[in-house]
Structure 1
Amino acid sequence: MDFLTFMSVFLLLISTSCYGLSENHHGDEEGGLLVVAPAKQQKEFDYFLLALLWPGTLCQGTNHCCSANACCRSNATSMFTIHGLWVNYNDGTWPACCNNGSNFDIKKITPLLGGLQIYWPSLSCNLESTCDGGKGLFWAHEWEKHGTCATPVIWDEYTYFLTTLNIYFKYNITKILIEEGYIPSNSEKYPLGGIVSAIQNAVRATPLLVCSDGAVQELRLCFCKNFEPQDCPNNVTPEEACPRYVSLPEYVPRITGIN
């Protein structure tokens, strides 16, 4: 896709109306609270959710390494990485696997692979489930399950990944937090309210944070269909809820069991 084509896509996005969130919406399936809408009932989604992972927390549970697992990189930095760009309904469900004919093809995103490997890496050695019942790359899972349901805003695989990267860079959460003094540390605890306020001031919308044992594990940003930020609902499970003071653990490379 050339620059003019890409810009025309974003002009289309800007013309799309923004939908509000219902109070009982729980995000995406990763939180274990939503039910997938049956295929025959799948309709156009209501809003986007960009899910970001904090490797410093997730990689602490790594006990096996492989070349595909970014937790095992010796030169990785402490920054949020992309989990996925998801599409959700306001009623507490979400569409999934909307077009079985749009199977993931890595050749279609060749120009983006350098950035994807750094900013959207897999943090596991396990292959992910795909819509045809098989197993594939982390990117294949995200495109087939979520990206294929992003029409009419996003129509193809390349645009899905390019759009996600652009949003990630535009709202650079790691940079926002560091500039406000929230630096990755294995000893410091930070006020949750301060982190939320820093992001609210920069993004002009309220994020949703998910924690594990008091450490930030995931951060979610919600967007209208024109990619204007909107508040995310505060509805994590008690197990995922963050305490008043949270940590942002430094990334420590895992080198055990590499193959």
Structure 2
Amino acid sequence: MDFLTFMSVFLLLISTSCYGLSENHHGDEEGGLLVVAPAKQQKEFDYFLLALLWPGTLCQGTNHCCSANACCRSNATSMFTIHGLWVNYNDGTWPACCNNGSNFDIKKITPLLGGLQIYWPSLSCNLESTCDGGKGLFWAHEWEKHGTCATPVIWDEYTYFLTTLNIYFKYNITKILIEEGYIPSNSEKYPLGGIVSAIQNAVRATPLLVCSDGAVQELRLCFCKNFEPQDCPNNVTPEEACPRYVSLPEYVPRKV
């Protein structure tokens, strides 16, 4: 069965209410704002966060090329790619590495690899840390650190990656922005409020944007446990905050 056939699978939904979030709640581990709950205290999560990367910004810092680094591909991609599907608590903490026995097994997601390589690529040559203290693929890091904590909504590795891809396609942020005139450009600056409003109107929830030197680097969408969109908490650090006008740099393949 090919990848497009798998993409026709409906999102796995459960009947769960949506929890509210206050403005000072944090949902991002990358910014150093969250504290990992100790393993013995890890409880069921409160909401999902889909983190998307903008390669045009992130790849500007590439200083080493390898076959695994999508920043070095000759076929330019001007679209958001997946960082990961994370699970967070409403109190600003997040669970991680919830089942050390569920080590990543690439064989379990073989039917999805074609799509993962395009829409969920690694933008680095570095191996990522895994829950057993070793190093592994970008996908291994995301599954072991975040996916294993997504129960009872998501129980296994295959479902984690398939569900993430389905959400990514259902809420096609790149398409939403292009249709509203926000085109990748190395010269244009766009109003941040306009970008946020375009996504709010399409998704019916408020996203969160992270910037680097005035360029959009990451975009986050938040979801209830039944994958209904919900507003994301505004918890970026001052260093990550976006200015009033931002850029969406075009992707330029690196040659280093």
Give the TM interval when normalised to the shorter protein.
over 0.9
Tell me whether 8-17 or 178-187 shows the greater mean CA deviation.
8-17
Q: Which residue of 2 aligns with 1:212?
A: 212
Structure 1 unaligned regions, length at least 5: none
The CA distance in 1 between the partners of 2:3 and 2:71, in whole Å, is 34
Deviations 1:120-171 (A, max 9, x none): 0000000000000000000000000000000000000000000000000000
Kept in 1, the 8 Å contact 2:10–2:166? The answer is: no
2:10 and 2:195 map into 1 onto residues whose CA distance is 30
What SS is found at the alignment partner of 2:10? Answer: helix
Structure 2 match to 1:31:
31
- Cα distance in structure 1, aligned partners of 2:12 and 2:167: 16
CA distance in 2, matches of 1:102, 1:9: 24
Deviation at 1:235, TM superposition (A): 1.7
Inter-partner Cα distance in structure 1 for 2:223 and 2:17: 11
CA separation of 1:89/1:243 partners in 2, compared to 1, >3 Å: closer, same or farther?
A: same
1:25 deviation in Å? 1.4
Instruction: Render the CA deviation track for 1:3-56: whole Å, top value 9, x for unaligned.
Output: 999999968624122111132212221111100000000000000000000000
Measure the CA separation in 2 of the matches of 1:119 and 1:2: 16
CA distance 1:240–1:13, shift in 2 (3 Å): same
Measured at CA, do residues 98 and 225 of structure 1 come closer, stay the same or move farther in structure 2, by a change above 3 Å? Answer: same
Quote the offset at 1:232 in angstroms.
0.4
Instruction: State the 4+ residue runs in structure 1 displaced beyond 2 angstroms.
Output: 1-14
* Overall identity of the aligned pairs, in %: 100
Q: Is the 8 A contact 2:26 2:90 kept in 1?
A: no
Q: 1:190 aligns to what? A: 190
RMSD, aligned CA = 2.4
Query: Does 2:68 correspond to 1:68?
Result: yes
Q: Does 1:224 align with 2:224?
A: yes
Local SS of the residue matching 1:29: coil
> Is the Cα–Cα contact under 8 Å of residues 7 and 166 in structure 2 kept in the other structure?
no
TM-score by length of 2: 0.95
Q: Partners of 2:45 and 2:8 in 1: how far apart?
A: 21
Residues in 1 aligned to 2:49 and 2:37: alpha-carbon distance in whole angstroms: 17
Listed one character per residue, the Cα deviations across residues 225-255 of structure 1 (whole Å, up to 9, x for unaligned) are: 000000001121110000000000000000x
Could you tell me how far apart the structure 1 residues matched to 2:4 and 2:188 are? 46
Deviations along 1:161-205, one digit per CA (max 9) or x if unpaired, are 000000000000000000000000000000000000000000000
Confirm or deny: 8 A CA contact 2:35 2:92 kept in the other structure.
yes
Shift of the 9–21 alpha-carbon distance from structure 1 to 2, 3 Å rule, reads: farther
Stretches of structure 2 lacking an aligned partner (at least 5 in a row): none
